[in-house]
Every structure is written in structure tokens, then in C-alpha cells.
């Protein structure tokens, strides 16, 4: 177990180092942030002064070395655009994204697993077919379009839910969350549903495929022969055995929902991290982009670790040894 963890951490450090070099060079290649940031009225003297203030007058390797040095001591630099520490900007947006992603995942699991199992148990029934057809829609409809449609239907025409924004928040240990207020939940529902749509379809398909396979296994037949109730067979024997692929995929999806739910965040003007990333890339705000991706990489590492630990809980046959990680 310890070997496993150490190996994981070492791998992560390499990933982070490689990624920061790539991002740094990539953004450097796109252009000079000053061209986007400075007022066009500024004359050449002003321009030179601004470039010097942001440290952009130094050659790239020098900029990178000083960045890397500061980063090792925990300082990821100051945002070119906002003039405040980059890591602070990213973490400030984190709670909004996290709660949205969590709600989306809950919706995906609560809707997706029962529907998937149903479709798997009765693949030829009308309900099974409708569920599968619906999941195709969930896969193929573009997120921004569905988002706009949800807004038009529930906000503009019915007026039940707000069109966008975050709504009221409550501070928990100084961190603002909106899932604790009714107003906040109302604001969260549509974007979370929009985010969840794709995951629901994914979970349905995984659960269905798993169920069809597991339902034919000997131990299920045996359980049936023993006279166990259908509820227990499905709820324990089938459910537990279809969870491994579902947990794997959900783990990966959870990471990407947190890191890259840019489209939904833009459509619903949700003040999360995804929007910050896009804005920062457009304005070539290098410190923020690097800080953001570092946080993302860390997040993925943690999630993958949790997924691996969950495996061993779900399937006692899996051992987290040093041999295969």
C-alpha cells in the first residue's frame, strides 16, 4: 500500500513538471499578453513600462526559471489580468464548481443506475428500448444547445427557475456554498441537470451492459433458485458486481466535470473554474492557466487514488500491491 502511494506521488510529480513546461511554452508561443491587455491608446513608452512591470521583457527561459523557483516555494505568481495571486483566483472559484459537479454526479447516479439496470434486465421491453433511445439523445445533443433549451423552457417560458447565475450562498467555514439555500438550489438545478445529461446516458449504458452480463451468471441463477427476493438479487448481487466499471468511469468523469465544464458554466453564467480557464486563455493570463492546470492535475491524481481504493472495497479480490499499480 505504501509503495503504491509513493509510486503514485512520484508519477504525479513528473506529470506536473512536464505539464507546466508545456503550458508555459504553449502560451508563450500564442502571443504577448500585453497586446491584448494594454489600452490601444497607450504609446510605446507606456507599453514598454507595462511589459517590464509584468516581467515580460525577459527571455522565456528566464521567465520560466523564476516561475519554477517561486512555484517550488508555493508561489504560483500573480495574474497578469487581475493583479492578485493566481492560485487564489482558482481556489476562489473551486467551491462553485465542486458543488455543481457533485450535484451533477448525484443526478447521474440516481437516475442512471436504476434506468440502466432496468434496461439490462428487460432489454426487449418497450421501457428498455425507450431508455436506450433516450440515452442516445443524451450522448449526442450538444451541451450548449440543451442548456439554452432548458433556459428557454424552465426560465423564460415557465418562469420556474432562474436563467443563470449562482444565487444565495451560505458560508461554511468561510467557504460559500449555495446548495444549503433554496434559492441556491434553484440556481444550481438547471446547470447541474445539463452537466448530468451526458453522464446519465453513460451510466445507463454501463449499467445496462453490466447487468446483462451479470444476470446470466451462475450465482444469480443460484440466488434465484434459492428463492431470494428479486429486490435482493438486483440490489445486492447484481448491483455490487456492475459497479466497478461504473465507478471507474464516474471517477474520470467527475474529474473532467470539475475541470472542464466550460460550456455549461458559460451558458448558465456559473462562476466556476471552467469559465476562469477560458477567460484566462483568451487573455493569455499565463500564471492563472498554469495554476489552474496544476490544481486540475492534483485533482485527477486524488480522484484516481480514491477510485483505486474504492475498487478494493467493491471487489475484495483486488489488492493494491506494489507489483501492479
Partner 1 sequence: MKQQTTILAGALAALLLGGHAFAAELRIGTAAEPSSLDPHYHNLTPNNTVRRHIFESLVDQDAKQRLIPALAESWRAVDDKTWEFKLRKGVKFHDGSEFTAQDFVYTLCRIPNVANSPSSFTLYTKGVDAVETPDPYTIIVKTAAPYPLLPVEMTTFGIISAKAAGGEKVTFDKAGCKADSWPATQAFNDGTLTIGTGPFKLAEYRKGERIVLDRNPDYWGTKPEWDKVTFRPITSDGPRMAALLAGDVDLVDEPPLQDLERLRKDPKVSVVETLSNRVVYLALDQAEPTPTIKGTDGKNPLRDIRVREALSLAIDREAIVKRIMNNTAEPAAQLLAPGLFGTNPDLKVKSDQKKAKELLTAAGYPNGFELTIGTPNDRYINDEKIAQAVAQMYSRIGIKTQVDAATVNVFFSRRNKGEFSVYLAGWSAATGEASSPLKSLVATRIKEKGFGPTNYTSYSNPKLDELLTKALATVDDAAREKLLAETMKVAMEDYAVLPLHYEVTSWAMRKGLSYEPRADQYTLAASIRSAK
What's the residue count for the chain? 325
Cell numbers for 169, please give them: 450562498
Q: Least separation, in Å, of the C-beta of 186 and partner 1?
A: 11
Minimal distance, residue 30 CB to partner 1, in Å: 6
Three-state secondary structure call for residue 171 = strand
Q: Tell me the three cell numbers of residue 307.
A: 477510485
Nearer to partner 1, 77 or 210 (CB): 77
Q: How far is the CB of 255 from partner 1 (least distance, A)?
A: 21
Nearer to partner 1, 150 or 204 (CB): 150
If the CB atoms of residues 109 and 155 are measured against partner 1, the closer one turns out to be 155
Q: Quick one: 85 or 114, whose CB is closer to partner 1?
A: 85
Label residues 157-180 b or e (16+ Cβ within 10 Å = b).
eeeebbbbebeebeeeeeebbbbe
The neighbouring-strand residues paired with 78 are 85
> Cβ neighbours of residue 238 under 8 Å, at least 6 residues apart?
117, 211, 214, 215, 220
CB of 307 to partner 1, least distance (A): 30
Contact 150, 194 (CB under 8 A): yes
Nearest CB to partner 1, comparing residues 211 and 264? 264
Please, which residues bridge with residue 172 across strands?
175
Q: Which residues bind partner 1 (CB under 8 A)?
A: 30-47, 49-50, 53-54, 78, 80-84, 89, 92-93, 96, 148-149, 151-152, 155-157, 159, 162-166, 176, 266-269, 271-272, 275-276, 279, 282-284
Decide whether 24 or 80 has the Cβ nearer to partner 1: 80
Longest alpha-carbon distance in the chain:
87
To the nearest whole angstrom, how small is the minimum distance from the Cβ of residue 212 to partner 1? 38
Q: How far is the CB of 269 from partner 1 (least distance, A)?
A: 4
Write down the residue that cell numbers 516561475 correspond to: 67
Q: Which of 183, 154, 151, 181 is nearest to 164 (CA)?
A: 151
Amino acid at each position: 500500500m505504501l509503495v503504491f502511494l509513493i509510486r503514485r506521488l512520484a508519477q504525479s510529480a513528473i506529470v506536473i513538471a512536464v505539464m507546466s513546461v508545456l503550458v508555459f511554452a504553449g502560451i508563450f508561443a500564442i502571443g504577448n499578453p500585453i497586446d491584448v491587455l494594454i489600452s490601444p491608446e497607450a504609446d510605446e513608452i507606456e507599453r514598454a513600462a507595462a511589459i517590464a512591470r509584468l516581467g515580460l521583457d525577459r527571455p522565456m527561459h528566464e521567465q520560466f526559471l523564476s516561475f519554477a523557483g517561486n512555484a517550488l516555494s508555493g508561489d504560483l505568481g500573480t495574474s497578469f489580468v487581475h493583479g492578485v495571486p493566481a492560485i487564489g483566483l482558482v481556489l476562489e472559484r473551486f467551491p462553485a464548481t465542486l458543488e455543481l459537479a457533485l450535484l451533477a454526479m448525484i443526478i447521474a447516479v440516481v437516475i442512471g443506475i436504476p434506468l440502466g439496470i432496468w434496461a439490462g434486465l428487460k432489454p426487449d421491453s418497450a421501457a428498455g428500448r425507450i431508455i436506450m433511445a433516450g440515452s442516445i439523445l443524451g450522448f449526442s445533443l450538444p451541451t450548449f444547445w440543451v442548456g439554452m433549451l432548458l433556459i428557454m423552457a424552465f426560465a423564460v417560458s415557465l418562469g420556474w427557475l432562474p436563467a443563470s447565475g449562482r444565487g444565495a450562498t451560505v458560508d461554511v467555514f468561510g467557504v460559500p456554498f449555495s446548495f444549503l439555500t433554496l434559492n441556491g438550489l434553484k440556481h444550481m438545478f438547471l446547470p447541474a441537470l445539463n452537466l448530468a445529461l451526458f453522464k446519465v446516458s453513460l451510466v445507463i449504458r454501463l449499467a445496462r451492459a453490466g447487468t446483462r452480463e451479470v444476470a446470466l451468471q451462475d450465482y444469480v441463477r443460484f440466488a434465484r433458485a434459492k428463492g431470494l427476493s428479486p429486490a435482493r438479487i438486483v440490489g445486492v448481487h447484481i448491483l455490487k458486481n456492475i459497479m466497478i466499471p461504473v465507478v471507474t468511469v464516474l471517477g474520470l468523469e467527475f474529474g473532467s466535470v470539475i475541470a472542464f465544464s466550460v460550456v455549461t458554466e458559460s451558458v448558465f453564467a456559473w462562476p466556476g473554474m471552467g469559465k476562469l480557464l477560458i477567460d484566462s486563455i483568451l487573455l493569455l493570463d499565463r500564471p492563472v492557466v498554469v495554476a489552474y492546470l496544476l490544481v486540475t492535475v492534483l485533482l485527477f491524481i486524488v480522484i484516481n487514488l480514491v477510485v483505486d481504493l474504492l475498487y478494493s472495497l467493491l471487489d475484495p479480490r483486488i489488492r493494491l500491491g506494489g507489483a501492479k499499480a
